[in-house]
Structure formats: C-alpha cells, structure tokens
Structure 1
Amino acid sequence: MLIRRERPADIDAIRAVTTAAFNRPGLDGEPVETGLLEELRADPGWLPGLSFVAQADTGEVVGHVVCTRGQVGPVPALGLGPLSVVPGHQRAGVGSALMHAVLGAADALDEPLVALLGEPAYYGRFGFRPAREEGVIAPDPAWGDYFQVRLLTAHTPRARGAFGYAEPFTRL
C-alpha cells in the first residue's frame, strides 16, 4: 500500500471510495459525505497538500482522508474528514496509515491542531482527546466527547474557544 497526495485523476476514485465507505443499508441516494467532499474541494478552505489517498498494490485507490481549513477562536486550525476506506479494505490498517500521514503532514506544516467528529475509542489511538479538555468548544454541544482535537507541535495556548469548520460543514 502506498499513501500519497491526491492527484486530479483520483477524484472519481475518491468519490467511489467515499460513497462505498459511508453507504448504509436503507440509505436512499448517496451518503452526505460524498457531497460534502465535493463541496469542500470547491471551498476556499480546501488544502490540496492535506488530501491523501491510500493506493493498493494493484494501483486501486482504496482510501482517502482530507483536512480542510478551520479555526479555533482567532487561530487557524484544521478540520479532519471525511476519512474513507472501501469496505473490503477496512480493519486492515488503511485508515491508520492515512491518519498517520495526514497528521504528520499537518504537523510539518506547523498547524496547531486538528479537530474531528468521531468515535473516541478509534481516534484516541492517534492522540485525539475530547476537545473541551483542551479548551476547544464544539460547533454543536450535543457532540460531547465525540468532538475531539489532536494538538500538534505548533500548538499555542491562544488556540482556545469555539471551533469553526470550513463552510460546507455548516450545511450538514
């Protein structure tokens, strides 16, 4: 498996990966994450250097992750997601490899923190903690411990307050 930056030729494959990863029985139409990803790509908050794919040895794109520009209080920060892995490759380390790649890249770019909405038991292994413990307020208080942050090397104590995702997230 190879983790690399997204290329323009990957867009259709990423769409298929995202749709397959978030498709659920009884879902009418495509998952909301598929449309969100397209809207994020067209948003000023899109950061091409933080969009990664997992490519299988066959050359097939089997996973994708992206961070987009957000902010916490007055400080620029990152919002992570969606993270997608096709069902046939889930629980095989693809998601973990994508997470390590995007977090390493974000740290190398001197970003202060990454925020996400997700399962604490899964994301805790990557150093994510409930955001409120770090003084970061979720866009929706009902998210509780599912709204998490990972502090990076460039973190500053000024990065406290309400978190705001890239604008397409606000339409979910």
Structure 2
Amino acid sequence: MTIRTEEPQDYHTTEQVVQAAFAGQPFCDQTEHLLVKRLRESAEFVPALSLVFEENGRIVGHLLLSKIKIEHDGGSFDEALALAPVSVLPSHQGKGIGAALINHSINAARALGYKALVVLGHERYYPKFGFRPASHWGIRAPFEIPDELFMALELAPGSLDGVHGTVRYSPAFSG
C-alpha cells in the first residue's frame, strides 16, 4: 500500500475512483469527478496535495486539497486549504484508506507551510483528525450549512488566532 502524489497519467483512473466512490450517495450531485477535473485546471490546484492511495499498483483512493481564502473586512487569509473530495472505491471503504489519506494530507500541507484546512463533512468523522467547528474561530462557509458540518483544523497551534471571515472556494466548486 502506497500513498503518493497523483501524476497526470493517473487523472482518468482517479476520476473513475471518485465517480465510483460517490455513485448513488444521496448527499451529493454525482459530479465530484468533474469537480476534481476542474480543480486541476484552476489556479487553486496544488499538485503536491492531490494524493492517491495505491494497493497492489491499483489506485483505490484519492484526496485533494485546494487553496482557499478566508475573507474579512477587506483582507484575506491565504494560507488555508479545502479538503474535498476524499474518495475511496466502494469495495475498499471501511478499511482506513480515507483516514490514511487524510492524515497524510495534513502532514503534507503542514510541510508545505499551509496554516489551516477546512472541510464540509461528517461531524463524527472529521473531529478524530483534530477538526473543530470553524465557527470556533469565526470562520463561516459561503452558504448555509449546519455549524457542526463545517469544520477547520489548525496545522500549527494558534495558526488561526485572529483569523475570521467567510471562506472563498475556488470558482471550480461552482461548476
């Protein structure tokens, strides 16, 4: 089992993994694979933070972090990333692959000097990685979402001190 940076020759396979991971899920629009493609073509794409999980030479999982801004009162905090999406083939879900990708991405983002991550996700899953409601820092999503589902993680102690405002995602998220 290997976690590595996604390469251009992986793109088609990765998109198939993402599509399969979200197929039939009631909480999404089944186009996450297109989001991944759009993000790769955006200015917010960080190639080193597009990760794949391989098992026996086959890609079975993918995670993407992309640049965001947290805007407030005419200023912005530009050292944060969005964690989205995390995808694991249905046949491989429940085996810790998503958790391994998340942990690896946290360490990789920290090593690259980013200060925080945000995620829209399950309120019982992401806290085990250290995520807390983003509202704790006065950080808001750009859309209506229950407070407990929109979370942030400091990549260094105090890195979100004094940061507040509304997250601005890549235009790629708008389709």
- Establish whether TM, by shorter chain, passes 0.5: yes
Cα deviation, residue 8, structure 1? 1.2
What CA distance in whole angstroms lies between the structure 2 residues aligned with 1:131 and 1:104?
20
Partner of 2:41: 42
Q: Verify the 8 A CA contact 2:66 2:83 in the aligned structure 1.
A: yes
Cα deviation, residue 142, structure 1? 2.6
What CA distance in whole angstroms lies between the structure 1 residues aligned with 2:120 and 2:160?
21
Cα deviation, residue 113, structure 1? 0.5
Partner of 2:106: 103
Which of residues 145, 157, 174 in structure 2 aligns to 1:142?
Answer: 145
Partner of 1:10: 10
What CA distance in whole angstroms lies between the structure 2 residues aligned with 1:131 and 1:151?
10
Partner amino acid for 1:52?
A: L
Unpaired segments of 5 or more residues in structure 2?
Answer: none
What CA distance in whole angstroms lies between the structure 2 residues aligned with 1:25 and 1:82?
13
Moved over 4 A (4+): none
Partner amino acid for 1:5?
A: T
Partner of 1:117: 120
Cα deviation, residue 25, structure 1? 7.0
What CA distance in whole angstroms lies between the structure 2 residues aligned with 1:156 and 1:93?
28
Partner of 2:77: 75
Partner of 2:154: 151
Q: Verify the 8 A CA contact 2:137 2:161 in the aligned structure 1.
A: no
Which of residues 42, 55, 64 in structure 1 aligns to 2:62?
Answer: 64
Partner amino acid for 1:17?
A: V
Cα deviation, residue 33, structure 1? 0.5
User: Structure 2 length as normaliser, TM-score?
Assistant: 0.90
Q: Verify the 8 A CA contact 1:75 1:158 in the aligned structure 2.
A: no
User: Structure 1 length as normaliser, TM-score?
Assistant: 0.91
Number of equivalences: 167
What CA distance in whole angstroms lies between the structure 1 residues aligned with 2:36 and 2:137?
27
Identical aligned residues as a percent:
34
Partner amino acid for 1:147?
A: F
The RMSD of aligned alpha carbons is: 1.6
